[in-house]
Chains A and B, each alone.
Chain A
């Protein structure tokens, strides 16, 4: 009986507050926009019983999805989200790998402190960390003042409200997600492997490419997915740091819902976004699985 309660309570909670809402989104994405409250039709009429469900099903269609393919805004937003996510993942890897590598090579008594320093920003507000860059990147912001003090620039910067600012924001906020798995992979690597490679004729550089990089591959892959997946649906960074021409699907969905109040289209946008995310998520799961098997 206790076992039943133990399973049933979290199970029902998740059914009611995760699965059912998701099915509602799916249903509304197949409905039509209506100038009513709620702003879509048809609605489920429980009083009609089985007939009501049949009626409902017969009225659902893929009109919204067709609309998404016809309006260039949407597929451009999807493509642009993927592009931004991809570029910022690569940038994060380039910034994060040397840091993780440096941490793994630091003296053992320093590593817990370094690790804490990487994790600490996690606990501070995401919103504040993004906001911090607004003051720095603003046209006459801190960065401009610093650079003009050095005499490098003489006219206000044009970084804020561009995609560059979005990349900086993503690299900054998602950096720990990249560092941690790479560090974990590098840290447990046996030093004698590098010595063996050097003993067999490798220079330090080639030992790095032939041994260190391949052995941290699982960490690199995990880090990339951990950055790439959430970045696609990112909303806060493009809306604070991006400009009007920064097109990301999370922002489009938000505006579709709150500004245009077109719930069916917003729902369809969400469903397509999920379908796009399924591929990297499945690949990520596979990578984690392979890694566990290799370690077990």
Chain B
């Protein structure tokens, strides 16, 4: 077994830290979580990703103990959490609003949970100092929450929830209140702290970029179900459904009828247009309706017709989105569908030759896209 790659979920000997077993949660007639099973392992940085209302926050609140499942069990280190009250769980939570106690100083906020354990004063002080160092908050120990910046508040919330060394730390949209630049810095800081403390993190977010950056595994959720649980690379490169492909990053979806041919599949997607060739991940029936998903950066755009390409589409440039490092071209192909193609801007703007209304050729390899049902 390769010890360098952290992948406990592939190792059948590993015991999961958290187990959701057929968990269902209903609020009245509304089903927030629908018969969901999931294992999360120790030292993982696990992201629950989905649009608002998909049930990700309910999952987290059940872990923290603020909600109890309607049916099914949740285990922590093999033990059923059952009705265990939030204050009796070795689980701590970092709230979306941070929930810093406004009447207590930064120091007192961090010490709050430790004091509940009736540890002696020196031990508490030592632990608080340690947390202050970890989150670089030493200078602000005496300030009240309203006297520090948003980024600092975020770190206080993190320090406070980590102070009790929980087995599991829950983070509810931890970076949602920060601006983009600060958010990116903080993502790396979070990963760094997670690694240093060795705590298992479960993060809830609706920001796919954030989930991809920080997580060891991502669970994409929709309407109370898990759609796909996989590493960020797998989620991106091998989405298991149109929903996941569309939710994570930018994608072109081309629908058509499949005809298997060896390990390749021919897709007839529009009359009078050349067929597309893809690679099947699993057997496809002849004549099955299928979606071909391909990321824009895997589509090459050129003005001259390339030779010897099986996947070749001709179209007209409708729009160009210039993003600095890359440009995205919106190309209208024969049947009127818009296909997006991306190219890195390795040259200065003036030297590039494709512009609006140009006739262009789009190509991609037979393994660049994925075939999805429906």
A190-B99, A192-B97, A215-B103 known; A200 vs B112 contact (CB < 8 Å): yes
Select B87's contact among A190, A201, A217, beta carbons within 8 Å: A201
**Contacting A201 at CB < 8 Å: which of B96, B99, B102, B116?**
B116
Say how far B160's CB is from chain A's closest CB, in angstroms: 7
Counting chain B residues whose Cβ lies within 8 A of the other chain, the interface size class is 20 to 34
B41 within 8 A of A: no
Bound-state CA distance A196–B101 (Å) is 9
Of chain A, the residue at the smallest CB distance from B92 is: A199
The answer on a CB contact under 8 Å between A200 and B164 is: yes
**CB pair A195 B113 closer than 8 Å:** no
Enumerate chain B residues within 8 angstroms of A210, measured Cβ to Cβ. 112
Across the interface, name the chain A residue whose C-beta is closest to B97: A192
- B116 pairs with A202, CB closer than 8 A: yes
**Count of chain A residues with a beta carbon within 8 Å of a chain B beta carbon:** 19
Q: Inside 8 A of A196's CB, which chain B residues have their CB?
A: 93, 95, 99, 101, 160
Q: Given A200-B116, A200-B164, A201-B116, verify A195-B95 contact (CB < 8 Å).
A: yes
Interface centre among A197, A201, A206, A214 (most CB of B within 10 A): A201
Interface string of B88-117 (1 = CB under 8 A from A): 000111011101011100000000110011
> Within 8 Å CB of B101, what residues of A?
193, 196-197, 211, 215
Chain A 168-192: CB-based contact to B (< 8 A → 1; otherwise 0): 0000000000000000000000101
- CB neighbors of A among B36-94 (8 A): 64-66, 85-87, 91-93
* Alpha-carbon gap, A195 to B66, bound state (A): 8
Q: Which of B65, B103, B117, B160 contacts A214 (CB 8 A)?
A: B103
In A239-296, the 8 Å CB interface with B consists of 294
A292 to nearest B CB, angstroms?
14
Residue of B86, B97, B117 contacting most chain A CB atoms (<10 Å):
B86
User: Chain B residues in contact with chain A, CB under 8 A?
Assistant: 64-66, 85-87, 91-93, 95-97, 99, 101-103, 112-113, 116-117, 146, 160-161, 164
Closest 6 CB pairs of A and B: A200-B113, A201-B116, A196-B99, A192-B99, A198-B86, A214-B103
Q: Which residues of A contact B (CB under 8 A)?
A: 190, 192-193, 195-203, 206, 210-211, 214-215, 217, 294
Offer 14 A-B interface pairs, CB within 8 angstroms, sorted by A.
A192-B96, A195-B93, A196-B93, A196-B160, A197-B101, A199-B92, A200-B87, A200-B161, A200-B164, A201-B116, A201-B164, A203-B87, A210-B112, A215-B103
